[in-house]
Structure 1
């Protein structure tokens, strides 16, 4: 077996093509292999059935058999995971040794009044997780907690209970979400319930006029605003808090380490609650998020309807459009999701602007169709989303900008164009847009040729499974952790040989 090394034009120029690199590695193994130092003590190595480090590197470069490659990979994977765990637990040790300046009394009247004012009953899981968070907040070290759960399981209300508890203890709260659509919806949903218990909330996003942004920032700095909802606009230098005690980050994997750190630095060791829209596989949670305490919501609120899911190929598109038309005539509303905003010179994919023109002139000519994408002005976009929520728009054509947080209980149908291009977790997250009301809902994943074997498997799994936790594990198997959650984004070292699902 001869190793073939990746090569670039620059390397080849200086004689380091694959053959040149082979000469170098051969020389190293021949003359320098006795200098390998193995950090793993021999008893532990034998106990774990791992080969010495020097042998592992040699087996990866010059294996005698295919089996030897796996023996070498397994040892190197162990070293990668050992380093990752060390970094994670060192981080946790630092956090646990910190003593925060603020403290919490037992939950009082505001928390009770807020919970009693909700228009729905909390599930057992929600009550349990709220209790875990409250207990954590009362500790002397800052809370570092990850809240994850099934799509649509009601994580935000639990985060808002934590926000009310912080406000009750004269602390400010920063609630950061990745998109304006999502954070505007959070603000719209919670501004009045918070005001009812005497808590002032404000919204800060980049699309606000400069004067309005300044005014909101001044009120936050003066302590007049207790709960500040915002996008990454919250991390800008002109925003400061009088007494930031709790940082809540929604969709946390969409923010870089630096962005999260800059918001956190606006307080003195504030408590931290991070949320993800879809469940995280257990293996990933323990390795990448081992420095966080983890709370899980598994159950959905009562009354949620199961969502029927099917996948079809593009030759059935006309039939699917007729089905959408009939569903609207029966009183439902539909989402249609597209991968692109406009026609691309590089990708031969359906795009939302062209589809809007074609469908409104064709099969949907007698229906009210709305269009939403990330490049629209916030005011325009909000007007379309409000019309859709109020039933004044029958079909919403959109990019994945509506992937999280959009809530319309009357939406009964979701069509995903080019479903073969989406990951399992993202497909499941999109599915969470329907089935939020009393009516049964359907998701149709429309795939276009060529459909790879992995894409076919993914679509079959998506159609057959509803459980977000199972889907997260399958997504990890199919795509690997780096692509799923952006390992480099999370500040962890890149895993080159370790496979989290298997190792």
Structure 2
């Protein structure tokens, strides 16, 4: 019996080599092949010159008026030219490096050519000869060196012919009707072989909604499964917590209080918390996490804070030691650079419950680390974790609550897709007295002005970060590098001010030592790559100077900017950049115009796309083939709501109409409780 889960090797014409080639594109099953949708369509409908726009791709039909001539130039380069009478106009047609077409072009015969129209010179740069009876939209597929797009298209046609009768519609009939969508078999046919432009658009809308709905259904089901599990009911001591909050040197903002209440409510509930805490740089996420961790400790549980770097782990350990001084909080620092003896002793203490606040890198969730009674795991800057990685984290210990923090503001668009299985809390305001960073964009010929400003800041007792993209010389990129810049700035500022160097190729000890010298103000100006991007806190630093700023993403620049102005002094961000295109200019303008991280993140999303913003492989974002989570945001939100509604419907998974959907979920190895 035929099944869409059959291997593509069962498709006529697909041998072992083709199986390997298709696998390189992620195509292993018949369903993979049938849903390998085209990225665009070329319209081969014949047009008149009256409607042709300059530089537009189109198809012209006419009579050949001159013999085709081949001119050769350079190594293996040639040009095939001939004239065509289109209506009453003579058009010169040129094909590059396709001399074999000469035999298909006959004087006095009619033919159709697809190409790019040059209206000024009345010339068509040909791309392909089109069959005279063709009025079709031609699907264009992403391919690679192992397999051509036309071969993929041929296999899709064969597979559809063989399997069209076993293509079940996955979406519930009520949704198909409500949104006027195509049944799945028809949708797949029209995606690959559209009847006309209108039907192609309808098929694409149907495929985009199906893609969003199936993804959201998996995410929502995962969320329901997690909430169905027994978690810890952390009954913290409210009086002790209030006393701790009251002892702080400042009052929490309204947003911080709201988020603390959301987290504390989750701690008490007997289900496993899975919450994402979003907040801009400097909005006060760390103290919120500290309150949650202290609450957990008052209930007799251990808590762990996981951070991406050892520098940040050490900083947190120092800060929390001061914050919890005099309280029954025992802090341990667990990192990869510990000696074997230290590591073994600490693991023993953790297992026996001798420490109740463990701070470290990803070493915290390794199998060798056993906790006495882990109640809460907090992760800092773990926004690059995907769904599966976050799920693994939740399985540590006896279902501990999980609070993930990120200072990279994530637009609503991405929160729905990347974090659909999490509850989201947002700190949307800054603490009182926190001054916005002043940001200036300067061209490279204005670097002298920037250095003069930096000198004045140094003379006033402040410290400076200088960031550059590369460590050493690169022939492919005309950018300054940290080592060269370090030498130049030493000549400029020393001996009056000490210049330091920090980059990713230093050992952990060297990094820690350099960072500590900067914290202690024994280094006044620190030249660095982006190893200082995340979380490092030096209150006396007032200027972030970024060379070749157009080489960084907006979110990265915003993170860097957040490293300064963390004390009582005004902070400044100087961006040195000569962007080569309009997108680069827009990015620099965005940084100057706003310090709101959510605005920056949304702009970054619009300019770069979802995968680039979070890092496609680690983002948790699916590789949507049709839907655009930015452009199709309303559809994405609708799909999320529809998926949640379906899962909340009693016995939805036993209804006959939904069986194909249930089987789809089972095929994708989602073992969940639907009740």
Say whether the fold is shared (TM-score over 0.5). Answer: yes
Question: Structure 1 residue 53: deviation in Å?
Answer: 3.4
The structure carrying a bigger strand percent of its residues is 2
**Cα contact 1:359–1:365 (8 A) shared by 2:** no
Change (3 A) 1:130 1:20: closer
Supply the distance in 1 between the matched residues of 2:453 and 2:196 (Cα, whole angstroms): 56
State yes or no: 1:252 paired with 2:388: no
Root mean square deviation of aligned Cα: 2.5
Output aligned runs, 1:356-371, within 5 Å: 356-362=486-492, 366-371=496-501
Q: Does 1:221 align with 2:351?
A: yes
| 1:10 has 2:141 as partner | no
Structure 2 Cα separation of the partners of residues 258 and 76 of structure 1: 25
Do structure 1's residue 77 and structure 2's residue 213 form an aligned pair?
Answer: no
Task: State which of 415, 419, 422 in structure 2 corresponds to 1:292.
Answer: 422
Q: Which residue of 1 aligns with 2:282?
A: 152
Give 1:201's match in structure 2, choosing from 321, 324, 331: 331
Residue by residue, what CA displacement relative to the aligned partner does 1:414-452 show, whole Å, maximum 9, x if unpaired? Answer: 111221122222211111112223322221122245x23
What secondary structure does 1:248 align onto?
strand
CA distance in 2, matches of 1:99, 1:472: 36
Gaps of 5+ in 1: 12-16
**Conserved in 1, the CA contact under 8 Å of 2:386 and 2:621?**
no
Is the alpha carbon distance of 1:42 and 1:100 closer, same or farther for their aligned partners in structure 2, counting shifts above 3 Å? Answer: closer
Q: Is the 8 A contact 1:178 1:255 kept in 2?
A: no
Cα distance in 2 for partners of 1:484, 1:336 equals 23
3-state SS of the aligned residue for 2:545? strand
Residues 491 and 381 (structure 1 numbering): CA distance in 2 closer, same or farther, change over 3 Å? closer
- Is residue 2:155 matched to residue 1:19? no
Task: State how far apart, in whole Å, the 1-side matches of 2:437 and 2:298 are.
Answer: 39
1:96 and 2:204 are equivalent in the alignment: no
Worse-matched range after superposition: 202-211 or 371-380 = 371-380
Aligned match of 1:40: 171
Choose from 618, 621, 646 the match for 1:489: 618
Contact 1:412 1:434 in 2 (8 A): yes
Determine the C-alpha separation between the residues in 1 that align with 2:354 and 2:605. 44
Report how far residue 194 of structure 1 moved: 2.2
Q: Deviations over 1:303-358 (max 9, x none)?
A: 11121112223232333223322332233321111222233455443221221122
Q: Equivalences for 1:400-411 in 2 at 5 Å?
A: 400-411=530-541
Contact kept in structure 2, 1:114 and 1:197, CA below 8 Å:
no
1:158 & 1:268 partners in 2: Cα distance? 23
1:177 pairs with 2:301: no
Instruction: Quote how far apart the aligned CAs of 1:193 are.
Output: 2.3
Matching of residue 333 in structure 1 with residue 463 in structure 2? yes
> Which residue of structure 1 aligns with residue 252 of structure 2?
122
Change (3 A) 1:243 1:392: same
Tell whether the 8 Å contact from 1:338 to 1:399 is kept in structure 2 after alignment.
Answer: yes
In the TM superposition, what whole-angstrom CA distance separates every residue of 1:351-385 from its partner, at most 9, and x where no partner exists? 21221122212465642112222333334333332
Indicate the larger mover: 489-498 or 235-244.
Answer: 489-498
**Structure 2 SS opposite 1:3:** strand
Distance 1:56 1:422, change over 3 A: farther
Which has the higher Rg, Structure 1 or Structure 2? 2
Match of 2:373 in 1: 243
Deviation at 1:178, TM superposition (A): 0.8
**Distance in 2 of aligned mates of 1:137 and 1:41:** 37
Alpha-carbon contact 1:334-1:394 (below 8 Å) kept = yes
Matched, 1:140 2:276: no
Which deviates more from structure 2 when the two are superposed, residues 154-163 or residues 259-268?
A: 259-268
Name the SS for the 1:91 alignment partner. Answer: helix
Per the alignment, residue 459 of structure 1 pairs with 588
Are residues 366 and 57 of structure 1, via their aligned partners in 2, closer, same or farther at CA, if it must alter by over 3 Å? farther
344, 362, 369: which is aligned to 1:232?
A: 362
CA distance in 2, matches of 1:117, 1:384: 34
Secondary structure in 2 matching 1:108: helix
- The answer for the alignment partner of 1:61 in structure 2 is 192
Given that 1:205 and 1:233 are in contact with CA atoms closer than 8 Å, whether structure 2 keeps it comes out as yes
**Cα deviation code 1:222-247 (max 9, x no counterpart):** 10110000001212332211111111
Larger relative CO (CA 8 A, sep 6+): 1 or 2?
1
Q: Secondary structure at the match of 2:244?
A: helix
DSSP-derived class of the 1:371 partner = strand
Query: In 1, Cα distance between the equivalents of 2:547 and 2:198?
Result: 42
* Aligned counterpart, 2:565: 435
Structure with greater proportional helix content: 1
Moved more, 411-420 or 472-481: 472-481
Normalising by structure 2, we get a TM-score of 0.69
Report the TM-score when normalising by structure 1.
Answer: 0.91
> Conserved in 2, the CA contact under 8 Å of 1:256 and 1:490?
yes
The answer to whether the 8 Å contact 1:307/1:443 transfers is yes
Could you say if the C-alpha distance between residues 222 and 83 of structure 1 is closer, same or farther in structure 2, counting changes exceeding 3 Å?
A: same
User: Residues 80 and 4 from structure 1, CA distance in 2 versus in 1: closer, same or farther, beyond 3 angstroms?
Assistant: closer
In terms of mean alpha carbon deviation, does 360-369 or 244-253 score higher? 360-369
SS at match of 1:252: coil
Contact 2:414 2:610 in 1 (8 A): yes
Which residue of the partner structure matches residue 607 of structure 2?
Answer: 478
After the TM superposition, which of the residue ranges 306-315 and 274-283 deviates more from structure 2?
A: 306-315
